[in-house]
């Protein structure tokens, strides 16, 4: 009597094969030669006739990872290429696997540009949190851009594919981007990223600009020299390029960025400037407050005496009396000190 064997859905069959291969790949360092052979038996004997393109794409990716474990790099490279061409969706994991494979081979094959392209393609479909680990690898590769005399190939590559990456992915890395900008490392690429951030997150960029400007102004001891392009070319063979300090180069980059920010968001920048000025005023000590007011009085007196030719004897007496009142005040809290208001005769 014939029996009917129920057919297994293609999706279930595919998922079972995929999970078995993944388990073997995780345990690969501990497997014996027989177990490794079992992996390839499963891969080679898998009936992929009924798999759709997305399934075949992921299957080829897993197959490529398995081949890379056995140093069959040429076959793995071809399989990764086939996997990305078969499907237009769900390619995130494939791009990550391909990028990791190329990164491991970077000591043999110096192709950092291809690695960055893989990681950038992977980031475009990831959430911001999941993309952080991928972007960290991109920044790691960028650190070698200037060391290997690549003529900023990696920076140019990122600029070319920058539109693929959601802008919010770069927000977490804003301090690192600013650091690379002031160190003049991949500065054009960093400016391109910051331009995108300024468009959507002007306040975050503004805070970082002010933070780094203040740090550079306070730390005046760092004077690393950077060669700069001469203004006018000369025929002299022994051309001495004018040099500017590391600190000045960084300040120039930040000022340039500040001008871009002001051009795109003038209202926001002015409001933030007013807020910072008010916060600085609150932080003033009593002595600083008095000195500041004295300078204001001095400027007004000079203006009226030498320009307007006025008699200010009464106003000077009033100023002195105000200062005596402040100095004799026992309350040292700044919040209780009222600004000195002096009415000069017009």
Instruction: Break the chain into its structural domains and give their ranges.
Output: 167-227+242-283, 285-346
Which pLDDT tens digits describe the chain residue by residue (346 residues)? 444 445 667 788 888 888 888 888 888 778 777 777 777 777 777 777 778 888 888 888 888 888 888 888 888 888 888 888 887 777 888 899 998 888 888 766 677 888 898 999 888 888 889 999 999 998 888 887 766 556 678 888 888 888 888 899 999 999 999 888 888 777 788 888 999 999 999 999 998 888 888 888 777 655 443 444 333 344 444 444 455 666 777 888 888 888 888 898 899 989 998 888 877 776 666 677 778 778 877 777 777 777 766 666 666 677 677 666 666 664 444 444 444 444 433 3
Element (H, E) at 226: strand 225-227
DSSP, collapsed to helix, strand or coil, labels residue 61 as helix
Residue 335: the pLDDT is 45
Residue 231: the pLDDT is 38
Cβ contact 258:235 at 8 Å? no
Residue 213: the pLDDT is 85
Residue 170: the pLDDT is 92
Distance, CA of 188 to CA of 199 (rounded, Å): 17
Backbone dihedral angles phi then psi of residue 161, each to the nearest 5 degrees: -105, 15
Residue 323: the pLDDT is 66
Cβ contact 45:54 at 8 Å? no
For residue 47, with 0-12 CB atoms within 10 Å meaning exposed, 13-18 middle and 19 or more buried, which class applies? Answer: exposed
Contacts of residue 17, defined as CB under 8 A and 6 or more positions apart, other chains included, come to 42, 46, 59
For 286, the token pair is: 């009593």
DSSP, collapsed to helix, strand or coil, labels residue 245 as strand
Residue 45: the pLDDT is 77
Strand ranges inside the chain, DSSP E: 225-227, 243-245
Only one residue has tokens 């920076």, namely 155
Residue 337: the pLDDT is 42
Cβ contact 92:126 at 8 Å? yes
Residue 214: the pLDDT is 83
Closest to 319 in 3D by CA, of 338, 298, 302:
298
């Amino acid at each position: 009597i014939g029996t009917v064997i129920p057919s297994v859905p293609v999706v279930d069959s595919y998922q079972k094969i995929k999970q078995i291969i993944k388990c073997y790949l995780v345990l690969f360092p501990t497997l014996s030669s027989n177990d490794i052979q079992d992996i390839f038996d499963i891969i080679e004997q898998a009936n992929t006739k009924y798999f759709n393109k997305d399934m075949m794409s992921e299957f080829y990716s897993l197959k490529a990872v398995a081949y890379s474990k056995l140093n069959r790099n040429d076959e793995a490279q071809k399989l990764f290429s086939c996997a990305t061409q078969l499907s237009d969706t769900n390619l995130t994991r494939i791009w990550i696997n391909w990028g990791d494979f190329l990164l491991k081979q970077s000591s043999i094959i110096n192709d950092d540009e291809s690695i960055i392209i893989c990681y950038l393609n992977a980031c475009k479909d990831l959430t911001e949190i999941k993309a952080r680990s991928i972007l960290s690898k991109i920044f790691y590769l960028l650190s070698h851009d200037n060391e290997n005399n690549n003529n900023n190939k990696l920076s140019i590559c990122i600029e070319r594919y920058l539109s693929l990456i959601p802008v919010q992915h770069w927000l977490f890395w804003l301090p690192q981007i600013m650091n690379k900008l002031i160190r003049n490392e991949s500065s054009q690429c960093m400016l391109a990223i910051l331009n995108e951030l300024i468009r959507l997150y002007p306040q975050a960029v503004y805070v970082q600009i002010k933070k780094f400007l203040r740090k550079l102004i306070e730390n005046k001891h760092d004077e690393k020299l950077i060669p700069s392009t001469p203004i006018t070319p000369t025929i002299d063979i022994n051309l001495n390029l004018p040099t500017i300090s590391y600190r000045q180069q960084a300040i120039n980059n930040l000022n340039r960025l500040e001008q871009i920010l002001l051009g795109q968001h003038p209202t926001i920048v002015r409001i933030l400037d007013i807020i910072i000025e008010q916060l600085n005023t609150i932080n003033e000590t009593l002595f600083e407050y008095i000195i500041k007011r004295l300078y204001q009085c001095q400027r007004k007196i000079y203006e009226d005496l030498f320009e307007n030719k006025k008699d200010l004897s009464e106003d000077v007496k009033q100023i002195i009396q105000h200062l005596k009142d402040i100095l004799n005040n026992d309350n040292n809290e700044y919040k209780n000190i009222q600004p000195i208001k002096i009415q000069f005769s017009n």
